[in-house]
Structure 1
Amino acid sequence: MKHFSTETFRFLKDLSSPRDKKWFEENRGRYEENLLGPLRQAVTDIGPALREVIKDLEIRPAVNKTITRINRDMRFAKGQSSYKDNMLALFYREGRKRLDAQLFLGFQPEGVWRGLYVPTPLLALDSPMASEIKNDPQGVIDLAQDIGIGDDIDLVACKKYGEIDRTLDPAKAESFLEGPHLCALQTCEPDEVAADPATFIRETRDVLIQLVPLWKLYSGAIG
């Protein structure tokens, strides 16, 4: 069984510098052993528990299913490195990757993000969450508090993955519609992950399940 380690983050740090295909092929073994393999195992370990509460969730542990690609599409990334220094597992309903909020586990050189990602369209004034806030703003605040938002889970606005734009106040219902993207997340340090990867995976599973009620509000999947 493959586990995350300090080598996971060392490999991602190496990708922070521009790398070409020759370098990547020379380091493919590191990628598969320290990043892709453990991330596939994480999806295998976490996915079934999530699918028990979201019946049609995508949980196949494969690139372009739950796992993002490490290489960039250079048609849209001119002037950037061919490879990203982050990689994520994303959980969304089958066939709705661009439509749903996503439960996620993401690795970058500085550590791990885990939580709920909400794209811009689901923060719009005609979104399911906007309707929920209009009908019962205190109910949204209370649900978030019960989940742990503002306690051990932060509510933040982001412009891109890995960069927090600003921390939001979960005691204000309007915070749940701020963007351009929104995340409810926990962060973990590399040493914390590497010291006990099995516990890290169990805790990640529990955090993602904890966030499912909020995911349902954003995705319009109540019931």
Structure 2
Amino acid sequence: MGDLDPIAFDIETSGFGNESVLTVAGFASTLGEVVILNTAGRQANSTQLEQALAEYSDYGVDVIVTDDEAGLLSAVEQVATDRLNKDRHYLTAYNGETWKGGFDLPYLRTACISHDVAWPFPNMAYADVFEFVDRFDTHDEKGLVGVYDELIGKANCDPFDDSKEAVDAFESGKWEPLLLHNLADIQRTLELAMLGERYVPRSDFKMKNLSPPN
């Protein structure tokens, strides 16, 4: 927004109960994507997964494989440190964090507390795509997929009709479709953010700083 470029962020989880964990975290920019997989101690080949996802990305996808949720959080922090620049980027998500709540960032905060991991986005600007999509006529669509299809409608790599299928994919160790689902969501989010930058008033982006006060 303005002099800042968007970095889209999205997570997948193993469910919504007290025992649920982060399974995937993804970042997308105009230069490519990074997806981080938690295998829960099972096997996954990052090179093979990168090759499988590469055809759906203009600049290629980096796949980082971790063994557990703590490892995924550490990888998120490392990607944020290496690839996010507070002077060049702002973080964005779809209903990731809004004044009414959101999902991705609140979930991430709680996971960081559980593992005593530092917040990975200090001093990052943030604007949620969900906050400005009502500036378009989306025919009452509110979800990411529906809004994207109404406004952009390009073919995508999502193998799932419902995000709940991502939970089943994690449980059965079907890594490629799980990562393709996350890749599709971060690409959708990024494209919507860039569309908003072309048509939505700057004030409707509701930019804020994600740095905690202490």
- What TM-score do the two structures reach when normalised by structure 1? 0.30
User: Highest relative contact order (Cα 8 Å, sep 6+), 1 or 2?
Assistant: 2
